[in-house]
Amino acid sequence: MFNIEKILLFVVTMITSAALLFFIPLIHIQIDWASLVTHHRIKVGLTLLSPVIFGAITAYIAYQQNLLAKTQANISKDQRDIAHNKQRMENYNFLYDLVKPFSEVIPLILSLPYSIPNALRTEKMYEAVSREISDEETQFSDKEKEWSQFIFRLKIKFEEKISECFISRNKLEYMLDEKTISKIDYFLRKSEEIFEDRWFSLTDSVINIENSKERIDQIKKIIADMKDLRTSNMRMNQAIKKYMDIRDIISPRKFGE
C-alpha cells in the first residue's frame, strides 16, 4: 500500500521547489536556503495543503462515480429498450402470421369467374358445375372436366382459407379491441356471401341468357358487393395496423441522433 503522507509530502515539496526556482531568480536577495526550507515549515505547509488536496481527490472521485452512474443508467435504459423492441418484433411476427390469411381471401374470390364461356353452355356443363367431374367420366369433354375441376378445387381452397381465417379471428379476439374484431367479422361474413353469389352467378350463367336484365342486375350487385368488401378490408387493415406499427424501431435514425 502507498503511504499517502509521504506521497503528499513529495508533491508539496516538488510544488514548493518549482515555485522557488521560478520566483527566486527574479528577486535579487541573498537567501539562506538552509534556514528557509526546514522540516517544520514543510510539515506546516503539508498540514495546510492536505485538506485542499484531499478535497480535490474526493471531488474527482465523486465526479468519476457520477459519470459511471450515468453510464450505467444509460446502459440499463438501452437494455430495456432492446428488450422492449425485441418483444414488439415478436408480437409483430405473431400478429402477421394470424392476419396473413385475411389478405388471401379477396384474390380467391376474384379467381372465380362470373360466368361460363358461351361455347360450354350445355346441359352437360350444368351438371359439370353442380359437382366435380373426374377424369374417368368419358361423357364430358376435356374442357368441361377442366372447368369443373377448376371451380370445385377453388371452392375447396376458399372454404379452407375461410376456416383458417376464423381460427385466426378466434385467437385475435383476446388480443384486439371489440371494434377491430367486429370489422374482421364483417369482412369474413361478407366474403362468404360474395363467394356464394359469384358461385350462383357462375352456375346460373349456364342456363340463363347472359344479357338478360336478371343477369345484368345480378352481376351489378356482385360488383357493388366487391367494392364494399374492399372497403371493409381496408378498414379492417387500418384497425389492425395500430397493433403492428413498428416503424419507429426499424426506421433509419436521423443524422445527429
pLDDT value of residue 1: 45
Q: How many CB atoms lie within 10 A of CB 121?
A: 16
- Residues of the chain scoring pLDDT < 50: 1-2, 4, 254-257
Angle at 163 between CA 161 and CA 165, to 5 degrees: 70
pLDDT value of residue 166: 95
Q: What sign results for the dihedral spanned by CA atoms 131, 137, 142, 144?
A: negative
Cβ pair 182, 102 in contact under 8 A: no
- HEC letters along 182-240: HHHHHHHHHHHHHHHHHHHHHHHHHHCCCCCHHHHHHHHHHHHHHHHHHHHHHHHHHHH
Asked if residue 149 belongs to a domain, the reply is yes
Asked if residue 175 belongs to a domain, the reply is yes
Taking only the tens place, the pLDDT of each residue in 216-227 is: 888 888 889 999
Radius of gyration of the chain (CA): 43
pLDDT value of residue 251: 66
Cβ pair 31, 21 in contact under 8 A: no
pLDDT value of residue 2: 46
Prediction pTM value: 0.65
Single-letter amino acid code for the residue at 102? F
Give me 238's grid cell: 387500418
Domain count, the chain: 1
Asked if residue 15 belongs to a domain, the reply is no
pLDDT value of residue 157: 94
Asked if residue 32 belongs to a domain, the reply is no
Single-letter amino acid code for the residue at 182? S
Q: How far apart are CA 240 and CA 181, in angstroms?
A: 9
Q: Residue 46 burial by CB count (10 A; 0-12/13-18/19+): exposed, middle or buried?
A: middle
Asked if residue 67 belongs to a domain, the reply is no
pLDDT value of residue 186: 95
Give me 103's grid cell: 389478405
Asked if residue 16 belongs to a domain, the reply is no
Asked if residue 111 belongs to a domain, the reply is yes
Containing structural domain, residue 110: 81-250
Asked if residue 224 belongs to a domain, the reply is yes
